[in-house]
């Protein structure tokens, strides 16, 4: 097992950060976590991040200088390739490629999710809710018997979708029930991910409170 020091530059409920945190926890890797205020980004962070976005992973090298990795899936792939613990991708090349494709789909799904959750007007909320529901219907078609995306083994696809599905535990249950109604496989998947130890530990205990505060500050309809 590598003993390289790893530091995750983070935010309390950013879904892209959560991907990396879940993978680190699944791998059983010791790491430090430093949260950044995205409203008032510190200069040291902007100096490290080429995009000004999270997450970042700093990797201590033998010469004492840190290598900086950015983009959540780049970080996750690096951890998969360099760390021990259970493998998060299948050995079969075709299955692995298929899962990577659904990870890309997950990133687009997250965009619809985030716009729905933060919608300030009914027209936008309705359009993005419909778009998100459509994406869930496609996932319902490809999910296996579960409890995870590819069956009994937790994998990289699960690490990607767990953060966005988590948000629906934090909003009005009636809204969540309406969106997920009639999607039994997605529903079971969501429940299994919510119970996964790495998914729980990827955020702080105050995640729900922070997220509700975020919705209120952005005057989202769901904050009402």
Q: Work out whether the CA dihedral 195, 162, 185, 142 comes out positive or negative.
A: negative
6-10 vs 32-35, strand pairing mode: parallel
- Give the torsion through C-alpha atoms of 98, 101, 103, 105, to 10 deg: -130
Other residues' Cβ atoms within 10 Å of the Cβ of residue 136: 22
| CB neighbour class for 93 (10 Å; exposed up to 12, middle 13-18, buried from 19) | exposed
Q: Which of 6, 8, 14, 186 is catalytic?
A: 14
Assess whether 207 carries a catalytic annotation.
no
Contact in structure between 108 and 132 (CB atoms under 8 Å): no
Q: What residues are labeled active site?
A: 14
């Amino acid at each position: 097992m590598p003993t390289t020091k790893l530091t995750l530059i983070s935010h309390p409920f950013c879904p892209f950060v959560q991907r990396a945190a879940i993978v680190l926890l699944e791998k059983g890797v010791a790491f430090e976590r430093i949260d950044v205020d995205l409203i008032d980004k510190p200069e040291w962070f902007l100096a490290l991040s080429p995009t000004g976005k999270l997450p970042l992973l700093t990797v201590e090298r033998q010469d004492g200088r840190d290598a900086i990795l950015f983009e959540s899936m780049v970080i996750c792939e690096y951890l998969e390739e360099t760390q021990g613990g259970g493998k998060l991708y299948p050995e079969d090349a075709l299955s692995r490629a298929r899962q990577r494709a659904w990870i890309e789909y997950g990133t687009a799904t997250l965009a619809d999710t985030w716009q729905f959750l933060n919608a300030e007007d009914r027209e936008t909320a309705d359009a993005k809710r419909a778009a998100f529901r459509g994406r869930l219907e496609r996932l319902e078609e490809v999910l296996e018997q579960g409890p995870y995306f590819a069956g009994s083994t937790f994998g990289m696809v699960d690490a990607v979708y767990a953060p966005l599905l988590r948000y629906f535990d934090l909003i009005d249950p009636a809204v969540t029930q309406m969106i997920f109604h009639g999607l039994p496989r997605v529903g079971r998947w969501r429940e299994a991910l919510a119970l996964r130890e790495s998914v729980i530990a990827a955020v702080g205990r105050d995640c729900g409170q922070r997220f509700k505060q975020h919705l209120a500050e952005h005057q989202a309809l769901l904050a009402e």
